[in-house]
Amino acid sequence: MKAMRWALVLALVMAALPAQATTWGTDTIRDPVSGKPCRVSSPASFGGYIYQWPEKYDQVFWPLTDPMGIWFCADSGFAAFIGDIQLEAGEKAAIAAFLRDAPRLPEKATVAAKLDRLEAIYALRQLAPDVRARILRALAYQYQSDGRQAKADALREQAGALMASRLQDDALPPDLRLQYLFVTANYARERGDAAGADRGLEALSAQLEDAAKDDALKDYAEYLGGLIAASRTIAPGGALAPDE
């Protein structure tokens, strides 16, 4: 019921605010595996309202959270999130080997098939920890949107563990520290750890007080501070969203 109510509220808001729509165009890239031209979707228009959409509790945003933000090249079967097609030599070799044995997907593959391919390929990518954390969160949101909650939960567990590890690093950039405290608290509450979630939000609130004094962080601090009350209402299980 929580997920249905949240989806209904979002639908009503978006229907009432048609100007807050994203639009897409097309572009041509070179398939990083086959080298052949590949037609992909490209953002045409959007606005700051994307930062208030439900994916804000994962702190990943459009176009990573839109199925059209998945770039898929049917010639080789390669898939990546929008713009993320620069491969290291080792990555290209591993991905090409995987794709030679993988089932061939049609050009108009289903979202579910593209997501599975996307996850498999990112498992072969050589990603920095903070990049991997973001990719895992984006995949989780996409799986949730596709109705595959168990997959979303598993990916959030991976992302949460990675972010928790990064929070132990004193050199973690301050904006990521704020972000990871917020998201890991949300993940804790969704899996039923209310006490852990509260501790995370308390730590975040303390950090926000200092961040509000920093010109480079104050806007982000204000944004996250405005989400804390709703974050406390996330119910265990189901979609990551306030129980409204």
Task: Confirm if 186 and 235 have CB atoms less than 8 A apart.
Answer: no
Distance CA 182, CA 190 (A): 13
pLDDT at 242 over 70: yes
pLDDT tens digit string along 79-123?
A: 999 999 999 999 999 999 999 999 999 999 999 999 999 999 999
Interval 36-42 mean pLDDT: 97
Which pLDDT score is estimated for 21? Answer: 87
Residue among 173, 175, 186, 177 at smallest CA distance from 228: 186
Instruction: Kindly tell me the sign of the dihedral angle through the C-alpha atoms of 180, 184, 185, 186.
Output: positive
Q: Indicate the burial class of 146 (C-beta count within 10 angstroms; 0-12, 13-18, 19 or more).
A: middle
pLDDT tens digit string along 178-230?
A: 999 999 999 999 999 999 999 999 999 999 999 999 999 999 999 999 999 99
Task: Confirm if 133 and 162 have CB atoms less than 8 A apart.
Answer: yes
pLDDT at 29 over 90: yes
Which pLDDT score is estimated for 244? Answer: 63
